[in-house]
Amino acid sequence: MARAMTKQLSVRVAAVTEDSESLTGSSGGTCILDISQGLLGTVTEQLESARKAELQSKQNYDMKKQSLEDEIKYANGDLAETKKPEEQTPRPRQQQIENLR
């Protein structure tokens, strides 16, 4: 989407370049063109910086989400293991031997 906007703006700047005298009625039209191109460069840099920051934030979010989901999964497994009735929980071998004596 941003590339399309940049392309559109570039086409408009090119059109202004071809017809710069119609903007001001004199040869001073290049000043407006220089300002427009400067703004385009600035906006493009800001857009790229914002995209990088957004991508980094999304990656951080995804990693944190995965970490929390894993932690919940293992905690639920531990909780289920703890809640098992004692009869279903296998006893260690040594304790079974002592019970037989």
What is the residue-wise DSSP string for 43-61?
HHHHHHHHHHHHHHHHHHH
Q: What is the pLDDT of residues 26-51, one digit of tens each?
A: 555 568 888 888 899 999 999 999 99
Q: Which one, of 2, 100, 15, lies nearest residue 50 by Cα?
A: 2
Question: Of 7-16, 55-64, 92-101, where does the model show the most confidence?
Answer: 55-64
Q: Are 73 and 28 in contact (CB under 8 A)?
A: no
Instruction: Kindly list the domain boundaries of the chain, sorted by start residue.
Output: 2-71
Cα 88 to Cα 10: distance, rounded to the nearest angstrom: 73
For 63: left if phi > 0, alpha if psi spans -120 to 50, otherwise beta; the answer is alpha
Query: Is pTM beyond 0.75 here?
Result: no
